[in-house]
């Protein structure tokens, strides 16, 4: 578990996220800035940059777990703090961010 300001957030590994995405059981929200997202992102991720992040802008996806992700975990934890403040039920992010995803040998999409 990782968190800022004493708050704990659930973390999911790259392999666990890969299974959820393959089974269409998760929506991945990439909170990196648009330029970072364009250089490479996880297939199916939507981009909601932290600089403009609002939990209310995350699409309603009944039955799917919402997972936040950034480059290494810090910004996704900050976005989770914003979700908590907005009383959103989103509490999980990708441990190690896209860096961990790539280290696990999993593919990214460019563009």
pLDDT in tens, 45-80: 999 999 999 999 999 898 999 999 999 999 999 999
- DSSP run (H or E) holding 15: helix 14-22
What is the separation, in whole angstroms, between the first and last Cα of the chain? 31
Confidence of residue 9 (pLDDT cuts 50, 70, 90): confident
User: Residue 7's pLDDT is what?
Assistant: 55
Residue 88 reports pLDDT greater than 80:
yes
**99 in the Ramachandran plot: left (φ > 0), alpha (ψ -120 to 50) or beta?**
alpha
Whole-angstrom distance, CA of residue 85 vs CA of residue 71: 22
| pLDDT of res. 47 | 98
> How far is residue 104's CA from residue 100's CA, in Å, rounded to a whole number?
6
CATH topology of domain 10-103: Oxidized Rhodanese; domain 1 (3.40.250)
Q: What is the pTM of this model?
A: 0.91
For the beta carbon of residue 70, count every other beta carbon within 10 angstroms: 25
Q: How confident is the model at residue 5 (pLDDT cuts 50, 70, 90)?
A: very low
């Amino acid at each position: 578990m990782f968190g800022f300001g004493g708050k704990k957030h659930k973390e999911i590994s790259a392999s666990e996220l890969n299974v959820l995405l393959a089974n269409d059981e998760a929506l991945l929200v990439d909170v990196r800035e648009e330029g970072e997202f364009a250089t490479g992102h996880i297939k199916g991720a939507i981009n909601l940059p932290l600089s403009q992040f609002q939990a209310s802008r995350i699409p309603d996806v009944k039955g799917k777990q919402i997972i936040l992700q950034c480059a290494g975990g810090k910004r996704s934890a900050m976005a989770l703090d914003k979700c908590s403040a907005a009383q959103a039920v989103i509490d999980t992010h990708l441990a190690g961010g896209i860096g961990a995803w790539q280290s696990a040998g999993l593919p990214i999409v460019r563009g």
